[in-house]
Amino acid sequence: MTTPPAGISEADWASTPVGVRAGFLEVLAQLQRQQQENDQLRAQLTDLATELASLRERIGRNSRNSSKPPSSDGTGFKPPTRCKGTGRKRGGQQGHPGAGPELLPIARVDEVLEHHPDACRRCGTLLQGEDAEPLRHQVIEIPPISPVVIEHRLHRLVCPCCSTSTCAELPADVEPSRYGPRLSGLVGLLGSAFPLSFGRTQALLDQLLGVEISRGAIATIRARLSAALQQAVEEALEVARQQPVAYVDETGAPTGNADGCNPAGRRGWQWVMVTPLVTVFLQGLSRSSAAAMELLGHTFAGIVVSDRFSAYNHLPVEQRQLCWAHLIRDLAAIAERQGASREIGAQMLALQQHLFAHWHQWKSGAIDRPQLLHRCHPLRLAFEATLQRVVDLGCERGEQTPWAQTVRTCRQLLQRKQALWTFLETPGIEPTNNAAERALRQSVIHRKISHGVQSSGGAICRSRLLTVTATLRQQGRDVWQFLEQAWIAHRLGGVMPSLVPDR
């Protein structure tokens, strides 16, 4: 090597013996190799630390810091304490009058039996008369249930003149299938409001009513109900798209390929839109923006309350309210990370708690809306400033560390910060989409019981039955009666009952 190493002049290097120069160069090369090895080990250590932090966060995910359902938390998970203990025992306290069993009105009582004491319990004197306000004790019992079976016999007679045989026809008002409208409505009810599998539906009808029915007959009845409900559900969907606010969510809904409509074996998704008037379900094979637009329509002008899922990003930010229930779980996940994320997450959680303390005060009537807006304004500024501070600190492109995850979450929130506060700016908007999540709970239970549907027709039937059930429960109306009326109207061409009030 003729060129001297860095830091050594050419004169000094030239005067150095050749053997010393060779030893020096060997030591220098060894140091360079060790430096390279240290750099590699340091990079590996950083990658392992990042992976360990990611695995710890994944293992620590629960219903409080992620979108996992509470049922996945396990038996060892302790739910958060909602209030401080008072030291009192659970249940009614001493001196509490209690409500007692609620008595049914006299109009619903089938039989009244009067009981009089014969003699005084102290001296034995015979007693007569009536008590103006006797103690009332009601016993509610269910009589043996037996289905009403009407047999129609169609006689075939032979003409004595031309020997032609003629068979009688069923009257127009007689149900052509084996199962009447009310029983058919019950079969639909047991698949929606009470999400029973086909086997359990069979068992219940057999044990309760003494009616034996096959799985194929159950499927046929529900398919006919689906056709009967088409008009009412389409009308409800159009009305929902005209509402000023919609709470929207989606969940997985396995869909089979029995009819050849899902050859790729795609998972399937159940969408729901909850509005002040109606609740509508749609099931499809996509979780994309196109599926969200199919539910909301292309001209929806109201406010959409949802999580931060990208399928809703086609909506203007002015038409959105991001769900704070989801956001709180994201903030909890940030607060459970190490380093600066922990401090940032704790700060934003504290701001959120103050924000919702004021919100609940307004909901209870303790403060009016101007006071709510005045108290929440500094919290809003502080929250957005914290998001901006995290984004300004930034992270390396492609970095997968916990801090990088925190930066990405804050950047996403900052991009749609206006959608965080729509509930303050627009009256009538809730800060969470809990209404949609509650509506989807019935669908999730049905999925866990039946493991999904086997065809697109089954998916349509399931969505229509869920729409009817959720909407009528929302309105306090009788689901069974509605299904019976829809069945009769569809078969006889009568007026179809509506899911929209006052129609």
Using one digit for the tens of pLDDT, what is the confidence trace for 445-493?
Answer: 888 887 788 899 999 999 999 999 999 999 999 999 999 999 999 988 8
What number is the average pLDDT over the span 265-279?
Answer: 94
At 87, the pLDDT band (50, 70, 90 cuts) reads low
What number is the average pLDDT over the span 135-148?
Answer: 90
Q: What is the pTM of this model?
A: 0.80
CA distance 62 to 390: 25
With tokens 């009244």, the residue in question is 112
CB atoms within 10 A of CB 390: 23
Q: What is the mean pLDDT of the chain?
A: 88
The pLDDT, as a whole number, for residue 46 is 74
The pLDDT, as a whole number, for residue 191 is 87
Alpha-carbon distance values, 164 to 62, 171, 424 (Å): 77, 22, 80
pLDDT above 60 (res 84): no
Token duo for residue 40: 């590699």
Q: What is the pLDDT of residues 37-82, one digit of tens each?
A: 888 888 888 777 777 777 776 776 666 666 666 666 666 666 665 5
The pLDDT, as a whole number, for residue 484 is 94
Q: Are 420 and 358 spatial neighbours (Cβ–Cβ below 8 Å)?
A: no
The pLDDT, as a whole number, for residue 339 is 85
Token duo for residue 185: 């409505």
- Give the distance from CA 301 to its chain's centroid: 23
| Of the candidate ranges 5-19, 77-91, 274-288, 376-390, the one whose mean pLDDT is the lowest | 77-91
Q: What is the pLDDT of residues 424-433, one digit of tens each?
A: 999 999 999 9
The dihedral over CA atoms of 346, 351, 353, 357, expressed in degrees to the nearest 10, equals 170
The pLDDT, as a whole number, for residue 131 is 93
What number is the average pLDDT over the span 231-253?
Answer: 95
The pLDDT, as a whole number, for residue 71 is 62
Q: What percent of the chain has pLDDT over 70?
A: 91
At 151, the pLDDT band (50, 70, 90 cuts) reads very high
pLDDT above 60 (res 85): no
What number is the average pLDDT over the span 364-380?
Answer: 95
Instruction: Please name which of 367, 373, 384, 378 lies closest in space to residue 419, comparing C-alpha atoms.
Output: 384
Q: What is the pLDDT of residues 3-31, one digit of tens each?
A: 777 777 777 777 777 777 677 777 778 88
**Integer-rounded Cα radius of gyration of the chain:** 35
pLDDT above 60 (res 83): no
At 242, the pLDDT band (50, 70, 90 cuts) reads very high
Q: H/E element holding 182?
A: helix 181-189
